[in-house]
Amino acid sequence: MEIAAADGIMPLAALLREGDALHQPFDQRGLVQGKPHLASRDWLVACLADPEQLVLVARSAGQVRAMLRARLWHREASRLHAALNIATVEELVVTAASRRSGIGRALMDRAEAWARQGGAERMQLSLSAANTAATDFYSDLGFSDLTRTLFKQL
Ligand SMILES: CC(C)(COP(=O)(O)OP(=O)(O)OC[C@H]1O[C@@H](n2cnc3c(N)ncnc32)[C@H](O)[C@@H]1OP(=O)(O)O)[C@@H](O)C(=O)NCCC(=O)NCCS
């Protein structure tokens, strides 16, 4: 398996669609609204050009198997929090047929190295509480609960 920075947008859109479709069953309360512009060509091109973002693609046997997008943030100090450099995982999708073969872990290892190099002190992400596969995956990689988001539909 080969992991490299994405060199074009072609394989990304399909993986993003696969990830989006997977999240629909978790969205029992209709909170996820379609935002097609967020996988548009211009948006993807901007992601690839942004030095604060990392877009990785994993390939094996000439086929794209997975993608990861991460970004760096600086949180200013506030009354409660010290200033902090954070890396967030924005998307991670391993195509269904290629799961449980270590690709997700390999992508996260690369993203973590990039985040450290970029000065991030913490890596974080949010995911649906119902996505138990991803919860188990991140837990296996050493992630744990940081905050809890509560909501009430009005
Ligand atoms: C979550 C996801 C990225 C994991 O990728 P993956 O390549 O299958 O994960 P890996 O093979 O690297 O797994 C590493 C470890 O994570 C854990 N893990 C991964 N998938 C798991 C699952 N479905 N159930 C339980 N544990 C799991 C295991 O401990 C695994 O180690 P093992 O296979 O030696 O037991 C993948 O299932 C995926 O793309 N899901 C759809 C999109 C998604 O939910 N993305 C995350 C939300 S941002």
Residue 88 Cβ < 6 Å to ligand 1: no
Per-residue pLDDT tens digits for 134-144:
999 999 999 99
Residue 102 Cβ < 6 Å to ligand 1: yes
Kindly give, in sequence order, each residue whose CB lies less than 8 Å from that of residue 55, ignoring residues fewer than 6 positions away.
5, 6, 12, 47, 48, 67, 68, 69
What number of residues does the chain have? Answer: 154
Residue 134 Cβ < 6 Å to ligand 1: yes
| Pair type for strands 53-60 and 2-5 | antiparallel
What pLDDT does 84 receive?
A: 96
The rounded Cα 103 to chain-centroid distance in angstroms is: 13
For residue 136, how far is its CA from the centre of ligand 1 (angstroms)?
7
For residue 137, how far is its CA from the centre of ligand 1 (angstroms)?
4
For residue 53, how far is its CA from the centre of ligand 1 (angstroms)?
22
**What structural domains does the chain harbor?**
2-140 (3.40.630.30)
pTM for this prediction: 0.92
**Would you give per-residue pLDDT tens digits along the chain (154 residues)?**
999 999 888 888 888 888 888 877 776 565 555 665 566 888 889 999 999 999 999 999 989 999 999 999 999 999 999 999 999 999 999 999 999 999 999 999 999 999 999 999 999 999 888 899 999 999 999 999 998 888 888 8
The rounded Cα 5 to chain-centroid distance in angstroms is: 14
